[in-house]
Amino acid sequence: MTKTKITPEEALAYHLEPRPGKYDVVASTPMATQRDLSLAYSPGVAVPVQAIADNPATAYDYTVKGNMVAVISNGTAILGMGNLGALASKPVMEGKAVLFKRFADVNAIDIELDTEDPEEIIKAVSLMGPTFGGINLEDIKAPECFIIEQRLKEIMDIPVFHDDQHGTAVICAAGLINALEISGKKIENCKIVLNGAGAAGIACLELIKTMGARHDNCLMCDTKGVIWQGRTEGMNQWKSAHAANTDARTLEDAMRGADVFLGVSAKGAVTPAMVASMADNPVIFAMANPDPEITPEEAHAVRPDAIVATGRSDYANQVNNVLGFPYLFRGALDIHARAINDEMKIACAKALAKLAREDVPDEVAMAYGRKLSFGRDYIIPTPFDPRLIYVIPPAVAKAGMDTGVARRPIVDLKGYEQSLKARMDPTASILQGIHARARQAQARMIFAEGDDPRVLRAAVAYQRAGLGKALVVGREADVREKLEASGLADAVRELEIVNAANSRHLDQYKDFLYQRLQRQGFDRHDVHRLAARDRHVFSALMLQHGHGDGLVTGATRKSAHVLSLINHVFDAKASDGAVGVTAVLHKGRIVLIADTLVQEWPEPEDLATIAIRAAGVARNLGLDPRVAFVSFSTFGYPVSERATKMHEAPKVLDGRKVDFEYEGEMTVDVALNPDVMAQYPFCRLSGPANVLVVPARHSASISVKLMQEMAGATVIGPILTGVKKPIQICSTNSTVNDILNMAVMAACKMG
């Protein structure tokens, strides 16, 4: 798989724009009127204050405590970068906070404590207990992290969880359960070697021993070799607890005949010779980041029978903490847990292992561009599996209830699963899936407007994200100058810059264009001017002749004008069946609106075609299409001359025998609100519509732009569909990210 390259400029821009940092705090209740404010603050707030004073457990009912986690660090062990201090750790902790929200809908706030004194941290965190439902400790160095976590667990009545320790341990345990099943071994019989006696390593070994591994079968190694009974050099109480009765003194000694290797140490710590000396069907978890102790290629070269996992997303079997901590906390918070205990961690590991053995949904396999099925290259679920949110927390919650740490047990676990499904944000997984498919496609993407800095930045991002090759149409000197001005001078040599003035294909392009346009009033001179001087036409000709796989344009000229130019090369008119579909993403919902680009005033036959094209885009996005023909009237009332064609369009589809749900005509609230839709029991839609076919291009445009400006919806499109080759047309106010998204759509052949 192609590696992703992220530049310092991109990373800083991501954290700077559109506002500094990575999250906002927004009100979840109305705040508009004087009455709202009187309820939110004085005098209304006095009522829940008294209720909590009378019964502290009601804090979970009347405040955010029950869905709020503190992400706390002092910056002494930042992401393998070391001790850079509390302030420098803030971007990491903000990132952790947004991962909680993204994957498990847990609200999280980052808190950086400017001290290296464990007693001060223990005091500070313990005093925050009333505010939070859980504490996630992060990037605190060993051995202080052990002292801090243990003491906080003893004195606080909410879960305290050091993710660097237990997060890694849980995912490692999940992978190990499946790896041992595949290799036909039992954990109690395995010889296990751990390299790296820090926080994560010690936690991994402790959890594995809790699951049945025998003490003297587990050899822990650090930079000075094996930790054996009687060793005094470089020891502490946490290492001593894992000292084994063994003659082995070096990692090389330990690896001989080992069934399992767990690495949380450093790049290159394991040699091919060490792997070769392991037992049959060895399990190797080389989890050092960013580079593993040994790469899967190196391990498999000497031991094809090895099952290998790493911490990296560009190899199979990624040990990724995001598979654990969001869901552990989700389950713990939902039972108002006093702690996250070993039983809850093991339940999480077993649920993850079980999920990896189940059939993988098509949309997950499609997102990763390959068939995923339980086996040596798939022992751990992928982080973007949508089932995680409703499979893992119930297992964690049940274990918490069974072990007595739940303040409020969940009676209806099935109902709980359904509530978790409702928390899922389909938009994020859809976008992730599209990007993964584009990365698999490796399309050569033509960026037509190489004179625009936004387009150039998007082209660089496309290539550096490992999505494929970026072909930029423009003059080399101009491209270089604009990239330098954008702080991307080093990207010039990475991009392929195509200039019509020195293209060896120009005569071929002109011959094609003349054949196409000679009976439309264009002579040879007109054709030369179009092919050689208009970058939109030249780019379309490149695509037509297979000199690129997709085309992105429209950032510098109005879309109608760009479409008219593309029509010189492709059949992209309404009469050709071309349609523009815009995806509107808002508050966890995605709705497609069509036609937003091509069809000015479609008649019933055209509306039926638009519905078919839009349903195709929906399926490409991983949605099951439910199409509503929307109008001013609902099922014939009130009678409206303009609504008649929307009434007729479903009848046209009836005759075309399509394989998706459709209904109409109806108002937008009937289409999108299940309670309103229920007033029409004869409606053929099984749920809210996710595709809206509107009466005209102007109403489509108004709808999309109103959602964008008033509601802050994310808009992707219009996605051009019904054209022979993948062409996507941006709007003139597109951001770099918008242009990149359109390139991804083209790469996925979304049209």
Separation of alpha carbons 336 and 691, rounded Å: 39
Number of Cβ atoms within 10 Å of the Cβ of 369: 15
141 is catalytic: no
User: Would you say 67 is a known binding-site residue?
Assistant: no
Separation of alpha carbons 420 and 104, rounded Å: 9
| Rama region for 557: left / alpha / beta (φ>0; ψ in -120 to 50; rest) | beta
Separation of alpha carbons 50 and 363, rounded Å: 49
Q: Which two tokens stand for residue 238?
A: 């946490």
Pairing of strands 445-447, 550-553: parallel
Element (H, E) at 447: strand 445-447
User: Would you say 85 is a known binding-site residue?
Assistant: yes
User: Would you say 212 is a known binding-site residue?
Assistant: no
Report yes or no: 609 and 577 within 8 Å, Cβ to Cβ.
Answer: yes
Strand partners, 692: 593, 628
Separation of alpha carbons 293 and 310, rounded Å: 9
Residues 606, 607, 610: CA angle, nearest 5 degrees: 90
Report yes or no: 550 and 447 within 8 Å, Cβ to Cβ.
Answer: no
Residues 6+ apart with CB under 8 A from 322: 99, 103, 383
Separation of alpha carbons 334 and 410, rounded Å: 8
Q: Return phi, psi of residue 581, to 5°.
A: -120, 125
User: Would you say 164 is a known binding-site residue?
Assistant: yes
Report yes or no: 178 and 239 within 8 Å, Cβ to Cβ.
Answer: no
User: Would you say 81 is a known binding-site residue?
Assistant: yes
User: Would you say 321 is a known binding-site residue?
Assistant: no
Report yes or no: 447 and 455 within 8 Å, Cβ to Cβ.
Answer: yes
Q: Which two tokens stand for residue 503?
A: 């293209």
Separation of alpha carbons 496 and 402, rounded Å: 61
User: Would you say 84 is a known binding-site residue?
Assistant: yes
Handedness of CA 564, 568, 571, 576 (dihedral sign): positive
Separation of alpha carbons 743 and 461, rounded Å: 10
Query: What is the Cα Rg of the chain in Å?
Result: 29
Q: Which residue type is seen at 81? A: M
**Alpha-carbon dihedral angle through residues 655, 658, 663, 665, given to the nearest 10 degrees:** -50
Report yes or no: 640 and 632 within 8 Å, Cβ to Cβ.
Answer: yes
Separation of alpha carbons 349 and 679, rounded Å: 45
Using a 10 angstrom Cβ sphere, with 0-12 exposed, 13-18 middle and 19 or more buried, the burial of residue 15 is middle
Number of Cβ atoms within 10 Å of the Cβ of 185: 17
Distances from the Cα of 367 to the Cαs of 119, 161, 429, in angstroms? 47, 31, 9
- Please tell me whether residue 572 adopts helix, strand or coil conformation: coil
Separation of alpha carbons 571 and 591, rounded Å: 27
User: Would you say 377 is a known binding-site residue?
Assistant: no
User: Would you say 234 is a known binding-site residue?
Assistant: no
User: Would you say 490 is a known binding-site residue?
Assistant: no
Q: Which of 96, 398, 645, 725 is catalytic?
A: 96
Separation of alpha carbons 193 and 207, rounded Å: 14
H-only helix segments in 184-262: 199-210, 237-240, 251-255
Separation of alpha carbons 597 and 362, rounded Å: 31
Separation of alpha carbons 331 and 340, rounded Å: 9
Separation of alpha carbons 30 and 26, rounded Å: 11
Nearest to 590 by CA among 564, 625, 636: 625
Report yes or no: 735 and 709 within 8 Å, Cβ to Cβ.
Answer: no
User: Would you say 135 is a known binding-site residue?
Assistant: no
User: Would you say 636 is a known binding-site residue?
Assistant: no
For the annotated binding site, the residues are 78-85, 138-139, 164, 289
Catalytic positions: 96
For the annotated binding site for NADP(+), the residues are 78-85
For the annotated binding site for a divalent metal cation, the residues are 138-139, 164, 289
